[in-house]
Structure 1
Amino acid sequence: MLRAAVCALSFWLAAGASAMSLPAQDLMRWIRSNGDHGALPFAIVDKREAQLHVFDSSGRLVGSSPALLGATLGDHIVPGVGERAQQGAVRADERTTPAGRFVSFGGINNTGEHVVWVDYDSAFAIHRLRPGRAFKTRVDRLALPGANGKRVSEGCVVVPVAFYEEVVQRYLGSGRSMVYVMPESSRISELFRGL
């Protein structure tokens, strides 16, 4: 089990930089060059590619992974979605993964699971793939190339269990961190000024 996790982690580290899209690389350089992350670990969510890239506090890439994203296209947070999420009543048109720059922190959700809260008030988090009826289907979706088929969550960024435990929880989940979510319906320079 440990050997498999180490092999998977080695793959993520080796494939990470080459897997980054050019816009994600531009954002990474901008964050590093102006110190926007404030010496905190940070992550870039590339929604157009359905990828999560995680960096340590010095800006070194520590891993990349495919990710499942919100089922509904859009870069906004729907007002009141956080309250409805706690009741399991998020409508199909509210399942967006919002774009922006977020100060995040590790925490526990309402079922006792460790998550990285990207925007607590809207219940927007990065979490591991959860067991259940859809587990196998979602594992298969994560293995698909590109972003097609990866729009299935209620808005959260969902990654494989081993990647969450070995990379996300370790670097983003033990304190404060920054999460940059790239837009899909507008230009990245409109969201991150000076890029």
Structure 2
Amino acid sequence: MRRAAIAVVLATAIASPLVAARADPGGEPARRADFKVELPSDKARTLADWVVASRDHQNLPFAIIDKTAARVFVFARDGSVTGAAAALLGSAVGDDSAPGIGQRRLTAILPHERTTPAGRYQAALGHDLDQDILWIDYDKALSLHRVIDGKAKDRRRQRLASPTAADNRISYGCINVPEAFYDGVVAPAFAGTVGIVYILPETRDLAEVFPAMRAVPQR
């Protein structure tokens, strides 16, 4: 999907939920995210609770990607989790993208540049080559998609299925998740709308990456 088309999707899909959120307060907002049976890290819970309390997600579905735990949580508009799964992430530790990385060939991306950048992103379903994906940042070529096999030595599926997060850093920056999770949780959550994706930092503080958190008292 070309950038112009992505822009149209984002602008069109986000308009209606924003208007609805402002026109219908719906009483007192929920004060905390509902992780149900999931056990998030303290950082993931802190961010999710702030998102729900402040309505930073603008009444849209949202996802939180915890790089340290190598885990993805997807939430409905009301802040209740609809699913969670392990994820493969950029092989390099870091919270920023190299300048112009979205316009470079994979072979030109150096090992230390293979980061999954932290931040808040408007995301939408789209396509890349022969598969549908969730575009997180088109200009950075950052997306979330079903796990790909890649090179045999990468052992991506084995890494994804292992019980530890220590071996989940293998991609060029994109987020790989199990096929069943993508098809059963991610795709339905973002179908026909944009959503918000929050990628937690691993080298910086939450409030540095999400400065709006400073404006809302924490409970």
Q: TM-score range by the shorter chain?
A: 0.7 to 0.9
Report the equivalent of 1:37: 57
The 5 A counterparts of 1:172-183 are: 172-183=190-201
Report the equivalent of 2:70: 50
Quick check: 1:78 aligned with 2:78? Answer: no
Could you list the per-position Cα deviations for residues 55-103 of structure 1 after superposition, in whole angstroms to 9, with x for gaps in the alignment?
A: 0112110000000000011000111110114x65322121100000001
Distance 2:56 2:152 in 1: 37
Distance 1:173 1:33 in 2: 24
Helix, strand or coil: the match of 2:85?
A: strand
Report the equivalent of 2:135: 117
Gaps of 5+ in 2: 1-34
Report the equivalent of 1:89: 108
Helix, strand or coil: the match of 1:103?
A: strand
Helix, strand or coil: the match of 1:18?
A: coil
Of the three residues 184, 191, 194, the one matched with 2:202 is 184
Q: Give the partner amino acid of 2:165.
A: A
**1:29 deviation in Å?**
0.6
**1:16 deviation in Å?**
6.6
Distance 1:17 1:184 in 2: 24
Larger radius of gyration: 2
Calculate percent identity across the aligned residue pairs.
39
Distance 2:173 2:41 in 1: 22
8 Å contact kept, 1:16–1:63: no
Q: TM-score, normalised by structure 2?
A: 0.76
Report the equivalent of 1:155: 173
Gaps of 5+ in 1: 1-14
Distance 2:144 2:37 in 1: 21
Distance 2:166 2:208 in 1: 25
Residues 89/172 of structure 1: CA separation in 2 closer, same or farther (3 Å cut)? farther
**1:147 deviation in Å?**
2.1
8 Å contact kept, 2:38–2:84: no
Residues 17/156 of structure 1: CA separation in 2 closer, same or farther (3 Å cut)? farther
Report the equivalent of 2:147: 129
Residues 16/69 of structure 1: CA separation in 2 closer, same or farther (3 Å cut)? farther
Could you list the per-position Cα deviations for residues 80-139 of structure 1 after superposition, in whole angstroms to 9, with x for gaps in the alignment?
A: 110114x65322121100000001111001x13101111000100001012454398211
How many aligned positions are there? 179
**1:32 deviation in Å?**
0.4
Helix, strand or coil: the match of 1:40?
A: coil
Helix, strand or coil: the match of 1:141?
A: helix
Quick check: 1:98 aligned with 2:81? Answer: no
Distance 2:79 2:171 in 1: 28
Distance 2:167 2:191 in 1: 27
Report the equivalent of 2:21: none
The 5 A counterparts of 1:7-46 are: 17-46=37-66
Q: Give the partner amino acid of 1:121.
A: D
